[in-house]
Structure 1
Amino acid sequence: MATAFGRALHIPSCSLSLVCKNVSKPSFGVAKLPWPAQAGKARTRTRVMVTRAQLRPTWLPGLDPPPYLDGSLAGDYGFDPLGLGEDPESLRWYVQAELVHARFAMLGVAGILLTDLLRVAGISSIPVWYEAGAIKYEFANTGTLFIVQLLLMGFVETKRYMDFVSPGSQAKAPFLGVEDSFEGLEPGYPGGPILNPLGLAKDIKNAHHWKLKEIKNGRLAMMAMLGIFVQASVTHVGPVDNLVEHLSDPWHKTIVQTLANSSS
C-alpha cells in the first residue's frame, strides 16, 4: 500500500517507510504524515491527510473489521458489533444459520407478496398471510398437516445438521437413493439437479459471486420480512393493501401518518 501511495504522490516508497514511525493515527482511519524533505530546499513539515486504503468495503467506511472477519466469507463487511464470531466454531454455525434464515425469508416474502396480490386482485380467495395458518383445508385436517410438516422438516433439518457436523457424510450413507440428486457440494450448498437445476455454481469453491448475490438478497428479504411483520401489526392488512392505499393518496397516506394515527 505504501508503494502504491508513494507512486500516486510521486514519493519513493522508502521515504514513506522512513516517516511511518512518526505517523499519528486519529479516529476514522486517517493518518497524518510529515512531508519528506527535498534536496536543496529548507526542511519543512507539511501535514498531509491520508486516508488509508481499504482492502475491502466495510459496513461503515473508515472502520477496520475485526481480525476474525478476513473477507473470505460471502457478504463479509466486518459487521459484528457484539463479537459473536470471535470463536471459529460459533462463526461457522452463525454463517449457516444466516444462510438458512435468508432462504426462508426470500421464500416468505415471495409467497406473501404473490398470494396478497392474487387476493387483492380478486383472482383467488386466499386469506391474508397472517391468517392463513388458522384456515381449515379440505384435503387434510390441521393435525395431519402438522405431523407431515414435522416429519418432513425434521428429516431435512437433521440431515443438514449432520452434514454441518461432518461435511460430506450424508452423501456416503444413501437414504432411498435420493442423495445423488442433491450432490452435496459443501455445508449449506447441497446443489444437484433438484436444488441447482441451472447448474449456476457447480464449482462451489469458486462461486463467491453467486454466494454474495444470494446472501445480499437474503439479508434484504429478512429486512423486508421485519417490515411486513411491523406493517401487519400496525395496519392489520397485507402489504399489497398498504401499497394500494399509499398510491391512492401518496402525500397523506404514508408511514409517518400511519404510525401517528396508530399511536393516538
Structure 2
Amino acid sequence: MESLIKKLSISHRNCPECPSPKVIHVFFENVLGLLFPDFATELMKEGDQIAEKIEELRHKLSRILIRNKHLHNGDGAEIANLFFQKLEHVYDLLIQDVQAMFDGDPAAKSTTEIIRCYPGFYAVAAYRIAHLLHTLGVDLIPRMITEFAHSKTGVDIHPGAKIGEKFCIDHGTGIVIGETTIIGKCVKIYQGVTLGALSVEKSDADKKRHPTIEDYVVIYAGATILGGNTVIGNHSTIGGNVWITKSVPSNSKIYYQAKMYNPASDETDTYIIKN
C-alpha cells in the first residue's frame, strides 16, 4: 500500500493544474448553449446578457489556458480572445450544417429537431468548437471535447480533421473520421463509415494518413475508406459496406465491393461495380 501511495502521490504532484474532464465538458456545453439556446440552462434575450456570458466564458478559458501552459505555446489570455473572436465563423458553419442535415433528411420536420435530437449535429458542433481550439495551437482540450461527444453520440471525429461547409451526418453511430482527413463542402455521411489510415505505425504520425473526400460526395452506411493518398472525387457516391484503399475519380458510383471465393481458380476474386 505504501508503494501505491507513493506512486499516486508523484502522479498527482506532476499534474497540479490539469483541467479535469468535467471542467472541459462544462465549458463546451456552455459554449454550445451560448450558440444554440436549445442547450442553454437559461435564455438570454438581451444583448448585454449575451455579452456578459461571452466575457464569463472567455475568462474561464483564459484561466484554464494560463494554468496549463504545457497545453499550448502561446499566451493563454490571447488564445481565449482569439477563440471568441473567431466563434462567429464556427456558428455560421454550424447553421449551414443544420440546414444541410434538414435538407438531406426527409424524416426531419424542423431545424429545431435537428439541433435538439440529432447526434450528428451534436458531434459536428463539438468537432467545430474543438477544431477552432486545435487551430489556435491548443493540445489535449480539443480531444477532450470530441471524445465527450463521442461518448454521447458514437461519432468519433478527430479535432485535427478539416471539414468543409454544409457537412451532413445522418444517424451517425459508428462514424470514425481520422486526424488528417480532409472533407470538402456538401458531403453527406451515414452511420458506420470509417475514414481511416492504412498504417498505424508511430513513425507515420506526422504524415497524411487519412483520405480526402472532395465536394458533393455521399458515403453510405458501413463504407471504409483508408489511406492518406486515397481521394474520393467530387460528386461521387460510395455505396454501403465497400472497402476502398485507392482513389476514385469524380462522378463515380461505387455500388458494391465484395470478396467471393471462386472454386474454379481456388482464389478469392474482388468484384467492384462502378458506373
Under TM normalisation by the shorter chain, which class is it? under 0.3
Structure showing greater relative contact order (alpha-carbon pairs closer than 8 Å, 6 or more residues apart): 1
- Output the TM-score relative to the length of structure 2: 0.27
**Structure with greater strand percent:** 2
**Structure with greater helix percent:** 1
Q: Looking at CA atoms only, which structure, 1 or 2, has the larger radius of gyration?
A: 1
- Output the TM-score relative to the length of structure 1: 0.28
